[in-house]
């Protein structure tokens, strides 16, 4: 019986081999294409991270502002 880790490794290897077989016909343009897609993914993650950070900052300012206003009204 194959352990689940071994099964996952075999499935990932088969997926990588299948992906390589699909890319083989366009091998001359594959490296720039892959680098471009990786760049888009990195930029997208950066934008997502920045948005999440801005949202957390805005929530923190909102909470702090509410505390300041309640102290000022007393």
Residues 21 and 23: their CA atoms lie apart, in Å, by 6
**What is the H or E stretch that residue 59 is in?**
helix 30-73
**Which of 23, 25, 44 shows the shortest CA–CA distance to 34?**
23
So what's the pLDDT on residue 1?
A: 46
Whole-prediction pTM value?
Answer: 0.42
**CA 55 – CA 58 distance, rounded (Å):** 5
pLDDT in tens, 21-51: 666 666 677 677 778 888 888 888 888 888 8
pLDDT at 4: 62
């Amino acid at each position: 019986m194959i352990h689940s880790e071994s099964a996952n490794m075999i499935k990932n290897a088969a997926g990588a081999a299948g992906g390589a077989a699909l890319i083989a016909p366009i091998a001359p343009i594959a490296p720039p294409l892959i680098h471009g897609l990786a760049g888009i993914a990195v930029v997208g993650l950066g934008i997502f991270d920045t948005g999440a950070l801005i949202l957390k900052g805005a929530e923190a300012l909102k909470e702090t502002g509410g505390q300041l206003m309640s102290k000022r009204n007393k």
